[in-house]
Amino acid sequence: MLDLSDNNFAGPIPHELGALSMIGTLRFSSNRLTGPIPQELKNCKRLFHLDLGSNLLNGSIPAEVATLDSLQYLLLGGNKLAGTIPDSFTATQGLLELDLGGNSLEGVIPSSLGNLQYISQNLNLSNNRLSGQIPSSLGNLRSLEVLDLSANSLSGPIPSQLSSMISLSAVNVSFNELSGQLPAGNWGKLADESPDAFRGNAQLCTHPGNAPCSQDRSRKTGRKNTQVIVALLLSTFIVMVAVLCAIHYIVKRSKRLSAKSGSVRNLDSTEELPEDLTYEDILRATDNLSEKYVIGKGRHGTVYKTQFAVGKQWAVKTVDLSRCGFPIEMKILNTVRHRNIVRMAGYCIRRSVGMILYEYMPEGTLFEVLHERTPQVALDWTARHLIALGAAEGLSYLHHDCVPMIVHRDVKSSNILMDAELVPKITDFGMGKIVGDEDADATVSVVVGTLGYIAPEQGYSTRLTEKSDVYSYGVVLLELLTRKMPVDPAFGDGVDIVTWMRSNLTTQADHGSIMSCLDEEIMYWPEHEQAKALDLLDLAVSCTQTACQSRPSMREVVNILMRIDESIIISEHHKK
């Protein structure tokens, strides 16, 4: 991390920063920096937080930098940036916040912004020179909480598709040239709560029945009478054609399904699943679910590695439908969208077997990375911090950004998949609960989870709480720091990693003794990185407190992890 914010630095941003390929955070906000944003920043492949706001930067926004897959926070507001907003945002990006407000950007709002499916905190394009219509693709941003498009020259109606933005808690579209009515959903409520956020649009109808809504209706009445007659004739013809097409389609589809049952429903065309993929195709690709294709077995099913024809590799999870976990897992995976949660590409149901298809993760699980690889996988501070942060952000999304809240209930290192870049992705929702869902309740009747990860309160309380996930996450942090399993023979009978670590922290107060409890590799890190590892240990202990109400929330955990990466001083209580 490099934080030079809130200073008086002037001049251009050095191009040499592009050589920092492993850096995670760059914060240069609130200075007097000038010149363009260096294109070389595109080489910072681990960069997840870029804050250049409140400077005097000019030139255009480099598309290669703005569309880095690793970026989660891109904050460029309050500069003199010009040109257009890059129209190359993709569904693989993990942006949570995008702030381009207070610049001199021109052109239209790019429709590719609708691909930013993980953006949840803020999308700010205010105080620019943007024109044209608001793209309907913004309706895809179902997790976005704050949208600010104010003080531009946007025109036309607010697309009805924006009614799908169910998480919006604040909107500002004031001082544009918008017209028509507001989208359905919570837009009317937002206009009632913050009328100033919609002012400055003379033709925008915020309350039906008032001007300009009533004027617009009276002006259109005469024209509509003629249009209605034409529309009726045209619609009758269209309906007849549609019925004939539907009959043809149904007949054709029934013939196809009679030959091939158990077709796979592809949920995402970008996942490149073959068209008309069937249950039989999966059996053929896995040699009738042969053991040689098995890459994992768990409580809720067996996972196979496969490839359909010539193309990318896939993981196929098979589940016995007589178990209750499959419906809830499908329901959760079909609704959540986050870069740190595995994406379901499709599913298939055939008699008593259900199958879930998702992208194959070449590094396996975090458990395998920590405990089973020979030779051992080297993990520096940056890798461990990003693994901890990614898993925390995935859980924080489930707990705080999903409505209703989702509790995983089986968080463990073997349920965290690792992609080729060691980006963690939470998987296996077979024991998950949607709190408040009509098919779930706020209590549980049996203890669920995996030995060593189960929170103490689950042994005596039937109340469902997300703090059980926090405890399990804390155990994963201890694994990440020690490379020891949650229940290890070295601890002794009946002793788990939480009890073992607390005992060592109580009896060994000096820095060296505490370090000896951690992974041997950490002993060779620079002193400031060892200090960060000890801060991470403090967080793990906090997450695994016996009293569930004393544990932090996952949102607080994410904030703590962000602060830990800023710390380079060994805490006093860790010194000898």
Helix (H) or strand (E) holding 416: strand 416-418
CA 214, 219, 225: angle at the middle one, nearest 5? 115
Contact 304, 294 (CB under 8 A): yes
Residue position matching structure tokens 């968080």? 411
Q: How far apart are CA 178 and CA 159, in angstroms?
A: 11
Altogether, the residues listed in the chain come to a count of: 576
Contact 168, 190 (CB under 8 A): yes
Please confirm, yes or no, whether 276 is among the known catalytic residues: no
Where would I find the H helices in 15-165? 63-66
Q: How far apart are CA 521 and CA 375, in angstroms?
A: 13
Terminal Cα-to-Cα distance of the chain (whole angstroms): 27
CA 517, 522, 525: angle at the middle one, nearest 5? 145
Helix (H) or strand (E) holding 495: none
User: 253: exposed, middle or buried (C-beta count within 10 Å: 0-12, 13-18, 19+)?
Assistant: exposed
Q: Which residues contact 566 (CB under 8 A, 6 or more apart)?
A: 1, 3, 25
Contact 7, 54 (CB under 8 A): no
Contact 84, 106 (CB under 8 A): yes
Reading the block at residue 413, the tokens are 């290192």
The DSSP string of 77-104 is -SS---SBPPS---TT---SEEE--SS-
- The DSSP secondary-structure symbol of 84 reads B
Q: How far apart are CA 83 and CA 106, in angstroms?
A: 6
Residue position matching structure tokens 């008699």? 351
Q: Using N-to-C axis directions, what is the helix angle for 381-396 and 527-543, rounded to 10°?
A: 30
Helix (H) or strand (E) holding 190: helix 187-193
Q: How far apart are CA 472 and CA 33, in angstroms?
A: 44
Out of 410, 469, 496, 519, the active site residue is: 410
Helix (H) or strand (E) holding 216: helix 213-259
Task: Please choose, from the candidates 326, 327, 329, 301, the residue with its C-alpha nearest in 3D space to the C-alpha of residue 315.
Answer: 301
Q: Which amino acid is at 4?
A: L
3-class DSSP state of 434: strand
Residue 576 marked as a ligand binder: no
Task: Please choose, from the candidates 137, 90, 80, the residue with its C-alpha nearest in 3D space to the C-alpha of residue 109.
Answer: 137
Instruction: Please report, for residues 45, 101, 104, 171, 294, the alpha-carbon distance to residue 124 in angstroms, rounded to integers and kept in the order given.
Output: 24, 5, 13, 10, 46
Q: How is the beta sheet containing 203-205 ordered, strand by strand? A: 106-107, 129-132, 153-157, 177-181, 203-205
CA 139, 163, 109: angle at the middle one, nearest 5? 35
Binding residues for ATP: 317
What are the catalytic residues? Answer: 410
